Amino acid sequence: LMIYDVAVIGAGVIGSMIARELSRYRVKTCLVEKEADVAMGTSKANSGIIHAGYNDKHGTLKAKFNMLGNSMMDQISNELDVPFKRIGSLVLAFNENDIRNLEDLYTSGIENGVPGMKILDEGETKALEPNISSDVIGALYSPSTGIICPYELNIAVAENAAQNGVKVYLSNEVKSISKKDGVFVINTSQQSIRSRYAVNAAGVYSDAI
């Protein structure tokens, strides 16, 4: 019976990225997905914004991985031929209280290592974005914020993993997982998959997995 080294459960953007990374090595990997295609869960429904990382609490894993992920996107999009644009972002201020919030975000961004941020005054904000509300009095500008098509990225990553030898099992909902002789037995709606390691990348179903 075939025993995989790693079974990645969930073919969203995280699971597919992990499978692609594993495909660089001599590791027998499979990607297990309950839906009929990749990117059918949370990954298809997000905003497509590659966040800069000024919004995350310093010292958290979210802040760490947001920064790391953001810095990797140019290379990843280039390797996969997926359009990616660093269009930058503006967080707008309409009163003095908003300005204080911008200063807090700026401080948080500096702590997290976000590059190139600036707090703009009214004139600078309107010069950068002429169509903005006339009521704006300032903004936090972050040039490293980007946009990408989430499912295009997800499909490209999963395709690349498959080209590199990862076996993709679609329409395989995981029903139960047990361990026998040091090997995970992953029972799906279609079959039984055996693997030495299992990665839980099941998104909103990760608690069930």
Q: Which residues are catalytic?
A: 51
Q: Report the C-alpha gap between 18 and 22 in whole angstroms.
A: 6
Q: Any idea what the Cα angle at residue 188 is, between residues 187 and 193, rounded to 5°?
A: 55
The distance in angstroms from the start CA to the end CA of the chain is 24
Tokens read off for 58: 């310093």
Tokens read off for 94: 């309409």
Q: Report the C-alpha gap between 81 and 114 in whole angstroms.
A: 25
Q: Report the C-alpha gap between 75 and 88 in whole angstroms.
A: 18
- Confirm if 206 and 10 have CB atoms less than 8 A apart: yes
- Confirm if 196 and 203 have CB atoms less than 8 A apart: no
Tokens read off for 169: 């099992």
List the helix and strand counts (H, then E) for the chain: 5, 12
Q: Report the C-alpha gap between 205 and 40 in whole angstroms.
A: 13
